[in-house]
Amino acid sequence: MNWFDSHCHLDFDAFDDDREAVIKSALDKGVSHIFVPGVSRDNWQKIENLVQVHPMLCAGVGIHPYFLDTYQQQDLDLLYNYAQKGWVKAIGECGIDGFLAATTRFSVEQQQSIFEAQIDIANQTNKPLIVHHRKSHHLILQSFKRCNPKNGGIIHAFSGSLTDAQHYIALGFKLGCGGTITYERAAKTRNVFNQLDLQHIVLETDSPDMPLAGFQGQVNKPERVELVGRCLADVKGLDVAVVAEQTSTNAKTLLSVS
Least gap, CB of 156 to Zn ion (angstroms): 6
Least gap, CB of 93 to Zn ion (angstroms): 5
> Which residue's Cβ lies closest to Zn ion?
93
Q: Is 132 annotated as a binding residue?
A: yes
Least gap, CB of 213 to Zn ion (angstroms): 19
Least gap, CB of 237 to Zn ion (angstroms): 29
Phi, psi dihedral angles at 250 (to 5 degrees) = -60, -45
Give the separation between CA 242 and CA 47, rounded to whole angstroms: 31
Nearer of residues 60 and 229 to Zn ion, judged by Cβ: 60
3-class SS of residue 62: coil
Q: What ranges in 59-150 are assigned the alpha helix state H? A: 75-83, 108-125, 137-147
Nearer of residues 209 and 245 to Zn ion, judged by Cβ: 209
Q: Which positions touch Zn ion (CB under 5 A)?
A: 93
Query: 203 - beta bridge partners?
Result: 177
Least gap, CB of 180 to Zn ion (angstroms): 13
Q: Is 9 annotated as a binding residue?
A: yes
Confirm if 169 and 200 have CB atoms less than 8 A apart. Answer: yes
Nearer of residues 71 and 236 to Zn ion, judged by Cβ: 71
| DSSP secondary structure string for all residues of 134-150 | ES-HHHHHHHHHHH--S
Q: Is 64 annotated as a binding residue?
A: no
Nearer of residues 114 and 233 to Zn ion, judged by Cβ: 114
Q: What burial class does residue 219 get, using C-beta atoms within 10 Å of its C-beta: 0-12 exposed, 13-18 middle, 19+ buried?
A: middle
Give the separation between CA 240 and CA 245, rounded to whole angstroms: 9
Nearer of residues 174 and 236 to Zn ion, judged by Cβ: 174
Q: Is 156 annotated as a binding residue?
A: yes
Q: Is 206 annotated as a binding residue?
A: yes
Known binding positions: 7, 9, 93, 132, 156, 206
Annotated binding site for a divalent metal cation: 7, 9, 93, 132, 156, 206
